[in-house]
Amino acid sequence: MYDYYRAADRQAAMVEPDKGRAGSASPAFDAVDAKGIDPGVILGQLVALIRDEPYDLDLMRTVSLYPPPEGGPKSLEEWEALPEDSPYKEGPCIEELPADVRDSLASVPDTQLADLAERWGQIEEFFGRPDEDYLTTLIVELRDLAERAQAEDQMIYCWTCV
């Protein structure tokens, strides 16, 4: 599960990290439930399509906020020693998306929505053709979230639960 949301700052983004951000799970956040749309690959490919450039893994240089990276395991041995319910293993996780990603999402004109949804729906990570109406709606929701974040000088965050 991936919820994209905006927040005033990193501290506000990490309030109640165990709770989802979209829907009735946490009405305090302006959020989009993006289901299986991860930030690094699937959303990254949408951003590449918006920018009309080749997709690259480095496109989405997110900043991990939760669980705190400074407390995370530094070796395989430390990883294996973590309890099974450790947030480092199980989540949830919170990442901050780069400002240029927010700005790219906010820049999508209505005239490009259908074309973007059609091309995005062709990526292999979807494992088959998703419904283009759903993708169009999702692009609009992400664009509108990004526009509101821009207007308030906020960042977009991704809450992930495995």
162 residues of the chain, pLDDT tens digit each: 999 999 999 999 999 998 889 876 566 799 999 999 999 999 999 999 999 999 999 999 999 999 998 888 888 998 899 988 888 888 899 999 999 999 999 999 999 999 999 999 999 999 888 899 999 999 999 999 999 999 999 999 999 987
Q: Please give the model's pTM, rounded to 2 decimal places.
A: 0.92
Q: Is 94 within 8 Å of 158 (Cβ atoms)?
A: yes
Residue 90, pLDDT score: 81
57, 63 Cβ separation under 8 angstroms: no
Our measurement of the distance from residue 109's CA atom to the centroid of its chain's CA atoms, rounded to an integer in Å, reads: 20
Angle at 81 between CA 75 and CA 83, to 5 degrees: 130
Contact status, residue 45 vs residue 123, Cβ threshold 8 Å: yes
> Distance between CA atoms of 30 and 153, rounded to whole angstroms?
14
